[in-house]
């Protein structure tokens, strides 16, 4: 059951709407190289404008740490946002916290300068939050990717103004709640990547919620080593072997199976054009590096997906950046995409490497939902409360 307010619950006609977006987009030579985050907020902005609101956009860019850093100005984003929206966007420079910055007419869009140029943003300074709130009548948060930060523009303003989730935030929360809070069973999770040490909380939380946990990437090497396999010179956190054994036992106590590769693609070094071969786990040589799952592992995982209702994916299954070590991730991703297209699987994925891997496999648009939120997506999967989301829930409770 939905526990946060959305645009359906607020009247924005002739109101000044402060909206928190994530316009922290990749830039090169002053040009945006990936418009995904910009495009995802267009539906919310369009709906607000069509309903007669004047919109004032808040966002951060980079990590200026409370200082004015010209190279981290949001001004270059203005033209791209205007083009995507199909309407003019007016930019307000560093003096945006002055009262005049809140002067906006119905149907008009104002983009304010980088909120992190102000030292009160990241400390959630109440005076700074009050200054922001004074610019608007209603607050909308459409930046799930910043919802794990208790900043003035994500939490402080929401404590002052009537608040609601934008459509992108709503879609993200609905997708994640569908995947983990009340999922169709059975549920599988794929957790890949280089190191277990960076995903201990994630594995711990998921193993208590899913029926099977597929471990891939360099992380799988540590689990395999803990089971006694010789993994050669593969990436491995040897100091965490006991930890992986405890995690496997704990998962079993929750009825969750830890699923590991049954074969591997190895090479003597990780570089383009290097000779590779497929081996059983017992035939990994002392000079080998495990860089991908093998075809038997692909067959095993795809068969498991055939009997799965919900999939949560974070992290690639191999070193997909260099061919041919992308084959395992590609094959499993494409199978999951086919199942999703046919209505047999709810698939939710997220995390920077995950999005890149799914894009490489050509299936981003075929999953039920792919999050670009990065840190916030991971913290949600880890079972942590996100301050920006909790403020929206609190607002719903007060309403």
Residue 88, pLDDT above cutoff 70:
yes
Is residue 360, in this structure, part of any structural domain at all? yes
Same domain, 99 and 156: yes
Active site residue 204: no
Confidence grade of residue 244 (pLDDT, cut at 50, 70, 90):
very high
Point out the catalytic residue in the list 66, 107, 204, 352. Answer: 352
Q: What is the CATH number of the domain that holds 333?
A: 3.40.50.1260
Is 164 in contact with 395 (CB distance < 8 Å)? Answer: yes
The pLDDT score that the predictor gives to residue 311 is 97
Is residue 198 domain-resident? yes
List the single range of 90-99, 253-262, 306-315, 359-368 with lowest mean pLDDT. Answer: 90-99
Same domain, 207 and 321: yes
What torsion, rounded to 10 degrees, do the Cα atoms 90, 95, 97, 101 define?
-30
* Tens of pLDDT, residues 90-147: 999 866 556 666 688 999 999 999 999 999 999 999 999 999 999 999 999 999 989 9
- The burial class, CB within 10 Å (0-12 / 13-18 / 19+), for 228 is exposed
pLDDT single digits (tens) 27-84: 888 888 888 889 999 999 999 999 999 999 999 999 999 999 999 999 999 999 999 9
CB neighbours of 57 closer than 8 A, spacing ≥ 6?
Answer: 19, 21, 23, 45, 81, 89, 109, 110, 111, 112
Q: Is 54 one of the catalytic residues?
A: no
Pairing outcome for strands 289-293 and 263-267: antiparallel
Same domain, 141 and 252: no
Which of 62, 66, 107, 375 is an active site residue?
375
Residue 398 maps to a domain? no
Q: What is the total count of domains within the chain?
A: 2
Place of tokens 């992190």: 116
212 lies in some domain: yes
Looking at the structure, do residues 198 and 119 belong to the same domain, yes or no? no
Mark 230-258 as b/e (b = at least 16 C-beta within 10 Å): ebbebbbbeebbebbeebbeebeeeebbb
pTM: 0.86
What is the Cα–Cα distance from 192 to 353, expressed in whole angstroms?
Answer: 9
Cβ atoms within 10 Å of 307's Cβ, excluding its own: 11
Cα-based angle 138, 141, 144 (whole degrees, multiple of 5): 175
Q: Can 185 be counted among the known catalytic residues?
A: no
Beta carbons within 10 angstroms of residue 339's beta carbon: 20
Q: Do 151 and 108 share a structural domain?
A: yes
* 129 in the same domain as 259: no
Do residues 33 and 133 both lie within one domain?
yes
In a domain, 78, yes or no: yes
Quick one: 187 and 268 in the same domain? yes
- Claim to verify: residue 283 and residue 235 sit in the same structural domain: yes
Residues 64 and 114 in one domain: yes
pLDDT digits (tens, 9 = 90+) for 318-335: 999 999 999 999 999 999
pLDDT band at 295 (very low <50, low <70, confident <90, very high): very high
Write down the catalytic residue from 37, 149, 167, 199: 37
More confident call, 178 vs 23 = 23
- Does residue 187 share a domain with residue 164? no
* CA pair distance 317, 193, nearest whole angstrom: 7
Domain assignment of residue 270, yes or no:
yes
Q: What confidence tens digit (pLDDT) does each residue in 175-232 have? A: 888 888 889 999 999 999 888 998 999 999 999 999 999 999 999 999 999 999 999 9
- With respect to residue 283, please indicate whether it lies within any of the assigned structural domains: yes
- Nearest one of 22, 41, 21, 56 to 138, comparing CA atoms: 56
End-to-end CA distance of the chain: 16
Question: 87 and 130: one domain?
Answer: yes
Residue 252 lies in a domain: yes
Domain that holds residue 195: 183-381
Which one from 195, 233, 341, 393 is the annotated catalytic residue? 195
pLDDT given for residue 184 in this prediction:
93
Cβ–Cβ under 8 Å, residues 388 and 158: yes
**Helix %, strand %, coil % of the chain (to 5):** 45, 15, 40
Q: How far apart are CA 141 and CA 163, in angstroms?
A: 8
Catalytic site includes residue 352 = yes
Domain boundary (137, 170, 203) is at: 170
Pick the last residue of a domain from 135, 170, 205. 170
Q: How many CB atoms lie within 10 A of CB 218?
A: 23
Domain boundary among 120, 141, 170: 170
Could you give the 3-state DSSP secondary structure of residue 266? strand
Strand partners, 31: 28
| The predicted structure's pLDDT at residue 398 | 40
In the chain, % of residues over pLDDT 70:
96
């Amino acid at each position: 059951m939905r526990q946060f307010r959305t645009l359906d619950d607020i009247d924005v006609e002739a109101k000044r709407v402060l909206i928190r977006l994530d316009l922290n987009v990749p830039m090169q030579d002053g040009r945006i190289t990936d418009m995904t985050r910009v495009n995802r907020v267009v539906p919310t902005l369009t709906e607000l404008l069509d309903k007669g609101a004047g919109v004032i956009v808040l966002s951060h860019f980079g990590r200026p740490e409370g200082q004015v850093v010209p190279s981290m100005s949001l001004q270059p984003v203005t033209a791209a946002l205007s083009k995507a929206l199909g309407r003019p966007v007016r930019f307000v420079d560093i003096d945006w916290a002055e009262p005049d910055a809140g002067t906006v007419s119905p149907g008009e869009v104002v983009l304010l300068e980088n909120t992190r140029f102000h030292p009160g943003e990241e400390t959630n300074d109440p005076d700074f939050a009050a200054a922001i709130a004074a610019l608007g009548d209603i607050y909308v948060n459409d930046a799930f990717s910043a919802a794990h930060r208790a900043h003035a523009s994500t939490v402080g303003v929401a404590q002052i103004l009537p608040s609601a989730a934008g459509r992108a935030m709503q879609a993200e929360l609905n997708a994640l709640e569908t995947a983990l809070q009340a999922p169709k069973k059975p549920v599988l999770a794929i957790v890949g990547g280089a190191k277990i040490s960076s995903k201990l909380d994630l594995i711990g939380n998921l193993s208590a919620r899913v029926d099977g946990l597929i471990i891939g990437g360099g992380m799988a090497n540590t689990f395999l080593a803990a089971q006694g396999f010789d993994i050669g010179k593969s990436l491995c956190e040897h100091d965490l072997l006991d930890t992986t054994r405890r995690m496997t036992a704990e998962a079993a106590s929750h009825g969750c199976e830890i699923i590991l590769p049954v074969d591997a693609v190895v090479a003597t070094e990780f570089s383009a054009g290097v000779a590779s071969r497929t081996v059983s786990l017992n035939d990994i040589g002392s000079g080998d590096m495990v860089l991908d799952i093998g075809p038997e592992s692909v067959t095993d995982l795809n068969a498991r997906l055939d009997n799965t209702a919900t999939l949560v994916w974070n992290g690639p299954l191999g070193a997909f950046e260099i061919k041919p070590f992308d084959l395992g991730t590609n094959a499993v991703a494409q199978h999951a995409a086919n199942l999703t297209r046919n209505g047999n699987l709810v698939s939710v994925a997220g995390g920077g490497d995950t999005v890149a891997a799914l894009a490489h496999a050509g299936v981003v648009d075929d999953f039920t939902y792919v999050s670009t939120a990065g840190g916030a997506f991971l913290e949600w999967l880890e079972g942590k409360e996100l301050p920006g989301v909790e403020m929206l829930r609190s607002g719903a409770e007060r309403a």
